[in-house]
Homo-oligomer: A and B are copies of this chain.
Amino acid sequence: MTTWQQYLDENQPRFHEELLDFLRIPSISSLPEHAADVAKAGEWVAARLRKAGVENVRMMQTGGHPVVYGDWLHAPGKPTVMIYGHFDTQPVDPLELWTDPPFEPAVRDGRVYARGAADDKGNMLIPILATEALMQTEGKLPVNVKYFFEGQEEIGSPTLPPFVAEHKDLFACDMVISADGGQWAEDQPGLSVAFKGLCALQINVEGPDHDLHSGMYGGSVPNPIHALVRIIDSMRSPEGKIMVDGFYDDVRPLTADEQTQIERIPFDEEEYKARAGVDGLFGEPGFTTLQRGWARPTLEVNGIWGGFQGAGVKTVLPSKAHVKITCRLVADQKPAHILDLLEAHIAKVTPPGVRVTVERSGSTAQPYMMPLDHRGNEAARAVHLKLYGKEPYYVRSGGSIPVCSMFLESLDAYTVNFAFGLNDENVHSPNEFFRLQSFEKGQTAYCMLLHQLEEVAA
């Protein structure tokens, strides 16, 4: 009789082809013109789930991009887990920095290069393939499994909370297993126990109601770009401390234990700088780089634009200027409250003579933290020990996975993070890639995890 591992080995060539097909769909959730592609990616996932032997597969409308759901619930007395991932991707600009077209996957040196390769198409396909292997070789799954794949993670899953709340019973589970995220290193497992929250806004500044001749009006008419840079520059000190009143008030300080735990984890600052492609680092005084990344909130400008951006010179005093800003938040900051503080700050520092409007983005995420000894973590830890021969690190992430806190609120279920991306894979940047080795190892790991979970009392 074929084992699931033999089945995985025999079918890898086909699985690789399927991954490339999946990556060819330009499912960019932030760009309206790609909405149909996001839906197309959802259809692809639904078809792949059915092929794997999953039942009750359906596309569900959310008011935003769709969710693909399916389940296999024939393990009475066993726990019910819900596997999560997302089939949408980040945008691709700046396009000119890509070696290959972002949606024409290229395989080189055991890596597949494409937007979404690691975040999250490569990772979310893994549990589907593991499911097929178990169904094909054992005829069943060790536990009850629900599958929940969404298409709006990269824009903060704005319409998911009401949708999930509305279908509480359908999605009810003992825990969520997230196939979005990664491991500490190729040979070192990690269990993510905390994610940062997120809030985002756009500031629009208008000066004159039309572009003006800089010679006729310069020096006398307020320039919206000068006003905007004043506003932005007031938000952060040169050292990197955020100067918005009250911004740090709700930050949970690191306990001595948490500090020790972070110090136990090796962190190579030189390698970090090399990955970032910078000569030097900076940051909020009084904290290490790892503490800043994991346990301190941040504020970053993501984009700015206004006036003339073409070749040559245009002697214009522009009418408008815009900036996009996101903050990464930690427990117990609340996104809506932080946006209130930012708006109050902007109102306070806006120079006279310009009109400012602030657009709050629907993309928000609550900060998330889970107990280290959660039974799902214990099961994952057991798999890690077998697969890597090492204890996992209990790590945090500066990234945001809004669904973790959302599932906790709506379903009272913590999310165990079990995915195989690695930190150097250029997620959200040009030339994103995923290691095919991680792709295969992940399939084995998911088969093992589902068996491991069988032993967890429901």
Contacts and interface: CB of A to CB of B under 8 A. Distances in A.
B226 A232 contact: yes
B230 A230 contact: no
A31 interface: yes
Interface in A411-437: 423, 426-431
B212 A276 contact: yes
A231 to B, nearest CB: 9
A121 interface: no
Nearest to A232: B229
A302 interface: yes
Contacts of A352: 280, 282
A277 interface: yes
Interface string A292-334: 1100111111111111111111111111011110101000000
A374 B65 CA distance: 72
Interface stretch (A3-11, A139-147, A213-221): A213-221
A219 B429 contact: no
A216 B312 contact: no
Given A309-B303, A399-B213, A399-B216, A314 B91 contact: yes
Contacts of A324: 307-309, 313-314
B226 A236 contact: yes
A310 B221 CA distance: 28
Contacts of A429: 210-213, 316
Nearest to A297: B219
Contacts of A225: 232, 301, 303-304, 323
Contacts of A301: 223, 225-226, 229, 307, 318
B312 A361 contact: yes
Contacts of A363: 312-313
Contacts of A297: 219
Nearest to A423: B216
A314 B303 contact: yes
Contacts of A306: 303-305
Contacts of A238: 230, 351
A237 to B, nearest CB: 10
Contacts of A322: 309
A279 interface: yes
Nearest to A281: B220
A303 B304 CA distance: 10
Given A303-B308, A309-B303, A298 B97 contact: no
A368 to B, nearest CB: 13
A278 interface: yes
**Most chain-B Cβ atoms within 10 A of its Cβ — which of A156, A278, A398?**
A278
Given A226-B232, A230-B233, A353-B282, A94 B311 contact: no
A257 interface: no
Given A278-B208, A302-B318, A309-B305, A229 B233 contact: yes
Contacts of A232: 225-226, 229
Given A219-B292, A302-B315, A213 B310 contact: no
A428 B281 contact: no
Interface in A259-282: 272, 276-282
A238 B350 CA distance: 11
Contact of A155 (B215, B217, B313): B313
B32 A311 contact: yes
12 contacts: A29-B312, A93-B310, A198-B215, A207-B278, A208-B276, A212-B276, A213-B399, A215-B397, A221-B278, A280-B353, A303-B309, A304-B304
Given A31-B310, A229-B229, A316-B429, 5 more contacts: A216-B293, A238-B351, A303-B309, A305-B309, A308-B324
**Interchain residue pairs A-B with the least CB separation, the first 5:** A209-B277, A303-B307, A219-B298, A30-B312, A215-B399
